[in-house]
Structure 1
Amino acid sequence: MPIITLTTDFGEKDHFAGGVKGAIYSELDDVRIVDISHSVSPFHISEAAYIIQNAYRSFPQGTVHIIGIDSGLNPENKHIAVYLDGHYFICANNGIISMLASEINPEKIVEINIHDRIDSNFPVLDVFVKVACHLARGGTLEVIGKPISELKELTGIRPVVNREANQIIGNVIYIDNYGNVVSNITKSLFDEVGKGRPFKITARTASFNKVYTNYSDAINFDLPPEKREEDGKKLALWNSSNYLELAIYKSNPSTVGSASTLFGLEFRDTVTVNFDAT
């Protein structure tokens, strides 16, 4: 049974997500629909890119992913369908796919050209659904679009390494439900530049000189519970996607606070790694 996933900024209140699902079932009843997220911040392209980048690999090859973020059609925001890493992605050419394509080159990209056959003011419901169901049936990309070779780049999403190769300047690209702050600095880049040297990570007033693999690694469980530093302990770690994340152990944005609130960090704020000179 084919799988179609949905990632949108529709939220849960309105009818949009339900309408897309109904349209898919009207086109193709033998299909499984999976919601990745409908809680992406409105028009937040990099947030959507981070979510889909870290979710799609869990699905089987051949899955079709509809991404309904900033999908209004205009001369600078064309609709595309992409075959990348064994998966199909349908979205606007607004930079979302460039984050996925930073490590894996797409095998095929087409600019969707079936709009003149569809009367629509809701492209995710109409155009994206038509394309997704066509692909889920085993159809080819060439039928629904003309091949193109370039994707719009998502600017400001890549960290910068200085000329002396002793500093990485990154940015906050995502804040999760726990208020943990995810930067665009990957472990592979960190290791490549750092070469095992001592380092200091800074983000506003917070600083770190160690990066953990798991949240609990920051806690000394050899100590009795009353002597452990747990609540409110700040830490840096490589998250499950191998991005540098700044966190508070067992944080809760509504009560004890979170990395975002306690460190005063928001989207695009700077995260810097300085390595000792060699």
Structure 2
Amino acid sequence: MSFITLTTDFGTKDHFVGAVKGAIFSELADAKIVDITHEISPFSITETAYILKNSYKSFPKGTTHIVGVDSELSIDNKHIALELDGHFFVCPDNGIISMIASEIVPTKIVEINIHDRIESSFPVLDVFVKVACFIARGGNLTVIGREIKEFKKLVEIQPKVNQSQNQIIGGVLYIDNYGNIITNISKKMFNDVGKGRAFKVTASRYSFTKIFNKYNEIKGTSSSDYNQFDGNKLALFNSAGYLEIAIYRSNLKTVGGASTLLGLEYRDPIIIDFFTESKPEYTPLT
């Protein structure tokens, strides 16, 4: 059984997704196609990487992942195929892989070279499908490309640590369907830098001195009307292990999500200050 996933910014209104799926079935009739999402914000590399990084591991080893975001071929945006963590990726070399492979080194990477035989303004359909189906049939990567060692790195979206000021300077990485703000600050970084010290998270004009483990922890254990906590702002580490700023049970139509209420967008700064002496008003993460 061959699993092939699709992650694109095509949306579902147009013919693009249907055409890609039809081409896959024409190449590999027994393929199992899974849509991860087609609602990526147009050309958003970081959004693509965040979603793919937190979904691909749920698929069986050997799955092939087609990534169709910012995929037009150019000198600066080559097409690559690679094996990573037992999975295969067919995608543009635009920095997506540098986020997915931030902690895992790819086993093999090739620069796809079948373009000499195929000219296309729709490379996901005409190139990526052929490569993905070849891989899904057990084909060797080196047949469809020249092996390379490097891929494009995105360093500007990585959080920075200012040791002299006991500070992490991060930013907004992604805004989810609930309007929650996902930052590029991981729980591991927070613990490594903070070492259990008191802290303050600053996001726009708001600050947080406690990090929750679950969204509903903000309501406490009282059996009183929990509705009073609806719309409360909180910080927590989400299931992907990244610091998130959320609004508990926010009504997006009337209240708005965290990104709206805090006025934060992609790449806006999120700062964590740590304190050398414990201060009663700051609550360390437990």
TM-score band by shorter chain is: over 0.9
Opposite residue 265 of structure 2, the aligned amino acid is E
Opposite residue 147 of structure 2, the aligned amino acid is P
Aligned residue in 2 for 1:230: 229
Question: Which has the larger displacement, 152-161 or 217-226?
Answer: 217-226
Matches of 1:163 and 1:220 in 2, distance apart?
Answer: 35
Aligned residue in 2 for 1:273: 272
Unpaired segments ≥5 residues, structure 1: none
Asked if the contact 2:85/2:104 (under 8 Å) is kept, the reply is: yes
Mapping of 1:80-99 within 5 angstroms? 80-99=80-99
Mapping of 1:22-41 within 5 angstroms? 22-41=22-41
Aligned residue in 1 for 2:16: 16
Aligned residue in 2 for 1:244: 243
> Relative to 1, partners in 2 of residues 1:142 and 1:165: Cα closer, same or farther, differing over 3 Å?
farther
Aligned residue in 2 for 1:264: 263
Aligned residue in 2 for 1:150: 150
Deviations 1:216-239 (A, max 9, x none): 11111324116x641111000000
**3-state DSSP of counterpart to 1:199:** strand
Mapping of 1:1-278 within 5 angstroms? 1-164=1-164, 166-225=166-225, 229-277=228-276
**Structure 1 residue 163, shift from structure 2 partner:** 3.2
Asked if the contact 1:165/1:193 (under 8 Å) is kept, the reply is: no
Opposite residue 61 of structure 1, the aligned amino acid is K
Deviations 1:12-63 (A, max 9, x none): 1110011000000000001100000000000011010101011101111000
**Structure 1 residue 165, shift from structure 2 partner:** 6.0
**3-state DSSP of counterpart to 1:232:** coil
Asked if the contact 2:183/2:244 (under 8 Å) is kept, the reply is: yes
Unpaired segments ≥5 residues, structure 2: 278-286
**Structure 1 residue 277, shift from structure 2 partner:** 2.3
- Once superposed, what is the RMSD of the aligned Cα atoms? 1.1
**3-state DSSP of counterpart to 1:164:** helix
Aligned residue in 1 for 2:282: none
The size of the alignment, in residue pairs, is: 277
**3-state DSSP of counterpart to 1:91:** strand
**3-state DSSP of counterpart to 1:190:** helix
TM-score, length basis structure 1? 0.97
Opposite residue 113 of structure 2, the aligned amino acid is N
> Relative to 1, partners in 2 of residues 1:88 and 1:165: Cα closer, same or farther, differing over 3 Å?
farther
Deviations 1:163-197 (A, max 9, x none): 32610000101000000000000000000000000
Asked if the contact 1:253/1:261 (under 8 Å) is kept, the reply is: no
Asked if the contact 1:187/1:244 (under 8 Å) is kept, the reply is: yes
Opposite residue 110 of structure 1, the aligned amino acid is V
Matches of 1:261 and 1:11 in 2, distance apart?
Answer: 23
Question: Which has the larger displacement, 265-274 or 213-222?
Answer: 213-222
Matches of 1:122 and 1:68 in 2, distance apart?
Answer: 10
Opposite residue 174 of structure 1, the aligned amino acid is Y
Asked if the contact 1:169/1:273 (under 8 Å) is kept, the reply is: yes
Deviations 1:74-107 (A, max 9, x none): 1000000011011001110000000011111111
Matches of 1:22 and 1:4 in 2, distance apart?
Answer: 13
